[in-house]
A and B are shown apart, each in its own frame.
Chain A
Amino acid sequence: QSVLTQPPSASGTPGQRVTISCSGSRSNIGSNTVNWYQQLPGTAPKLLIYSNDQRPSGVPDRFSGSKSGTSASLAISGLRSEDEADYYCAAWDDSLNGRGVFGGGTKLTVL
């Protein structure tokens, strides 16, 4: 059971907008920034969003992040077939002397 809760799956058709949620608690999302990763099959994760809503250079502006209280969301607009991947949220957790926590991951399918 992951500390951060994500839906196991999400889907959409090309061109649609999809959102993936990430629910945590006061000690992680409530106190620290949220990051999002995209993992394509057989590859290392890629940083998609950091500090809640910042995009690293090279990440299309179709990807956006937001945070409110102890929850966060990743939105993907103009869905494309190459967006089919696993998505993970992550945050630092201040409990237990400090630790990193990931969500369980969301498998996005482009129909």
Chain B
Amino acid sequence: EVQLVESGGGVVKPGGSLRLSCAASGFSSSSYRMNWVRQAPGKGLEWVSSISSSATYIYYADSVKGRFTISRDNAKNSLYLQMNSLRAEDTALYYCARDRVGSMAYDYWGQGTLVTVSS
């Protein structure tokens, strides 16, 4: 059974850092583009970042570029998001998702991990 399990969320002060992890099981994540999507409380979905199967191609939303870093460890079947210089507007539920065809067709999602940026 395919599963994605996020962890690492929590409460952090503005300007602080957090590292999110996403553990994949039931498939080899090394064959897929992996992604982070977030959803602020009561708001819609926002794409955050994508990383190709071999980490050759990496993309970021303008809102996080220069502050967030996506990475992966295919040997550990894991995806990461290092978040620095956090702002109140980064408060959201962060989902990791698998892209089945490489064009935002996210066929499996985790349950999300909540990041709250507050003083």
Contacts and interface: CB of A to CB of B under 8 A. Distances in A.
Contact of A56 (B45, B47, B61, B107): B107
Interface residues of B, number: 24
A22 to B, nearest CB: 13
Nearest to B109: A44
Contacts, number: 75
A2 interface: yes
| Contact count band on A | 20 to 34
B46 interface: yes
Given A44-B95, A100-B35, A50 B107 contact: yes
Contacts of B46: 102
Interface of A: 2, 32-33, 35, 37, 39, 44-47, 50-51, 56, 86, 88, 90-92, 96-105
Interface of B: 35, 37, 44-47, 50, 57, 59-62, 95, 100-101, 103-107, 109-112
